[in-house]
Amino acid sequence: MKHIPVMLKEVLKALGDLHGKRVIDATFGAGGYSRAFLEAGAEVIAFDRDPNVIPDTDILKSEYKDRFVFVHKPFSNIAELTEIFDAIIFDLGISSMQIDIPERGFSFRENGPLDMRMSEIGESAADLIENLSVQDLAKILRDYGDIKKAGVLARILKNERPKTTLELKNLIHNSKDVAPVFQALRIAVNDEMGELEKALSAVPDLLKVGGKCICVTFHSLEDRIVKNTFREWTSPVGDPRLPIIEEAKFKSIKTEVPTEEELNVNLRARSAHMRGVIKSY
């Protein structure tokens, strides 16, 4: 299935005129966002840790030359940038091209190695199960998948040590837990919450005054991090009982969800939320 960039119209509307603007696409994926920004006249620096995106980045480099730069690193590495930008965009979650390749091990719909590594380096999901204690594995299942009987399932996984996606699926007796278990392991393998927190902490120093940060989230864990971070940025600083309160450094952009029209052509957008902020000073 071809990857369709989620809520692209809403993101472009929130960003406004991009001609001559400098934009960070923190999650290149299949390049749908980057291409749209480039077509709108922006200069784009894109990040992605997945080596499978490189053919698509090469196409954009050949088309847009110096206006497009690709950094083959996790998006938390935006913290290493020293310039300032007009916009930073995060399209979070997992891409269709990762889900739809059984060999990547992200999906329980087809059999493949129990991998789930976005960067294809480091510990796989099978390694994680092998190496973690029952207690630590249960914590991952509980925290990232909201699995009610996480301890029981963690012991089963440790005893059986699944090596393929279908082996893992068959060990999960409650069918409602299958997707959450896969999500929990994927988040842990890729340290998705840690990556997001680190990247967001770098955003205020990377944006110009009037610059915008837009995040499209797909599940409650990442959405909570984004929502809480943006709430902190848009709240006045200081003790409300004292006469001097520092103005909030950011203002909110209206939160959006996918339209019915988009959901009719891209069901994977159903859980998406677009949140954004504008830097005030």
pLDDT digits (tens, 9 = 90+) for 220-261: 999 999 999 999 999 987 666 666 667 899 999 999 999 999
> Residue range 175-202: average pLDDT?
97
Residue ranges per structural domain of the chain: 8-91+193-279, 104-190
Question: What's the pLDDT at 43?
Answer: 98
Question: What's the pLDDT at 148?
Answer: 95
Count of H helices and E strands in the chain?
12, 7
CATH topology of domain 104-190: DNA polymerase; domain 1 (1.10.150)
Q: How far, in Å, CA of 185 to CA of 206, rounded?
A: 31
DSSP H or E segment with residue 252: strand 250-256
Q: E strands of 18-118, at which residues?
A: 22-25, 43-47, 68-71, 85-91
Q: Is the pLDDT of residue 145 over 90?
A: yes
**DSSP letter for each residue of 217-242:** E-SHHHHHHHHHHHHHHTSPBS-TTS
State percent of the chain over pLDDT 90.
Answer: 89
Question: What's the pLDDT at 243?
Answer: 63
Report which of 87, 47, 50, 42 is spatially closest to residue 198, judged by C-alpha positions.
47
Sign of the torsion formed by the C-alpha atoms of 62, 63, 68 and 72: negative
CATH topology of domain 8-91+193-279: Rossmann fold (3.40.50)
Phi, then psi, of 212 in degrees rounded to 5: -125, 140
Q: Is the pLDDT of residue 275 over 60?
A: yes
Question: What's the pLDDT at 267?
Answer: 85
Question: What's the pLDDT at 244?
Answer: 61
Q: How many whole angstroms from its chain centre is CA 138?
A: 23
Q: Is the pLDDT of residue 4 over 80?
A: no
Q: Is the pLDDT of residue 214 over 80?
A: yes
Q: 98-114: per-residue pLDDT in tens?
A: 888 899 999 999 999 99
Q: Is the pLDDT of residue 154 over 60?
A: yes
Radius of gyration of the chain (CA): 20
- Residue 67's CB: how many other CB atoms inside 10 A? 16
Q: Which residue has the higher pLDDT, 130 or 265?
A: 130
3-class SS of residue 151: helix
Instruction: Kindly report the average pLDDT of the chain as a whole number.
Output: 94
What does each C-alpha distance from 162 to 57, 128, 252, 275 come to in angstroms? Answer: 35, 11, 45, 38
Q: Is the pLDDT of residue 207 over 70?
A: yes
State percent of the chain over pLDDT 70.
Answer: 96
What does each C-alpha distance from 70 to 48, 54, 60, 61, 131 come to in angstroms? Answer: 8, 9, 9, 8, 34
Q: How confident is the model at residue 94 (pLDDT cuts 50, 70, 90)?
A: confident
Question: What's the pLDDT at 241?
Answer: 65
What does each C-alpha distance from 197 to 148, 230, 278 come to in angstroms? Answer: 26, 12, 18
Question: What's the pLDDT at 192?
Answer: 97
- Residue 186's CB: how many other CB atoms inside 10 A? 22
